[in-house]
Amino acid sequence: MGARRMIKVRPRAAADERAVAGLLAATADRVEALDPRVRLARRPLPGDGALVAVDDGGTVRGHVRGVPEELSPDDESRLYAPDRSVTWVDAAADGSDAVEALAGALRLPGGPGAEADGVLWPTADEEGAGWWTAAGLDRAGQYAVRPPEPLPAEPPAGVTIRVATPDDVDAVAALHRDAIAFQAVVSPYVREVPGAEAGFRRRLLAGRSTTHVADRDGDLLGVAEWWVTTAEAGEGRPALLPPGRYAYLNSVGVRFDARGDGVGRALAGAALAAAGPGLAGSTLWFSVHNPLSSRIWPRLGWQPVWTMWERRTS
């Protein structure tokens, strides 16, 4: 076995473009063969923060572009995202040693990725999972898709599934708040923030999403917020899903004393039915740390396609 070559990291230069494109294409070919639904970048985009990992023979072994983001105090994304972070994009490598070197460069004291960083990566790629684990990232959330099939679900006796009205906004917000509070207890990547409740209220009152509720004699037992989104093809660029229209379940919550009776399944089934025909499927995010959602959603047919890998210092 030959000696392991030393890896150094430096900013991407114009002379690296061809080698980086080849590395991105090779990584995309390997991963897309594992899951043909996903698409990875095949060419690097211009932008600050691009790094290459190069061995002592001059071969480009890895590439990543760190995109910093800082969220405002009222940003709803703070529910799941850190206040300051760096997202890894255009990531590619031929081994974990290159990824570890790139991670170390991003996390230098005072650097853009010192506080938190992460990458969204196809779940089917176990080799990539080894890269991100070696780089100190942990699985945080999974983006799952379900085929365009009905979800038969009868609500419990005495429970009606209906569309929420503006008069329900306080009760709906309370149900979402309870669901977030539970997630925050079981997941280190979820927290309660003012912007989240404000977002639920704003979308319901403005009609920007549809909310179904489980109603038992005027008492709300559960809630599901959803909307229809469109995935479009992008030549040579990443794509989460094949082109088409998808029903996206943004938040499903069931009151603690009503869990286990099929209320959540009935809410999800009603949302899929209301989304109408012609869908390519339905999607949702769930936390890998949540013992309920990580078990229930795959059992109901939502299978992870993408995994969010993260590292946070606080």
Residue from 145, 94, 82, 75 nearest 118 by CA: 82
CATH code of 145-312, in short, is 3.40.630.30
Q: What is the pLDDT of residue 303?
A: 97
* Angle ∠(81,200,248) on CA atoms, nearest 5: 75
CATH 3.40.630.30, applies to 7-136: yes
* Inter-residue contact 87 to 140 (CB < 8 Å): no
**Strand bridging mode 210-216 / 160-163:** antiparallel
Q: What is the pLDDT of residue 110?
A: 76
User: Where in the chain are the domains?
Assistant: 7-136, 145-312
Q: What is the pTM of this model?
A: 0.93
Tens-place pLDDT, residues 233-284: 766 667 899 999 999 999 999 999 999 999 999 999 999 999 999 999 999 9
Residues of the chain with pLDDT under 50: 1-3
Phi, psi (5° rounding) for residue 233? -75, 140
Q: What is the pLDDT of residue 113?
A: 75
Q: What is the pLDDT of residue 2?
A: 44
Q: Is the backbone of residue 289 left (phi > 0), alpha (psi -120 to 50) or beta?
A: alpha
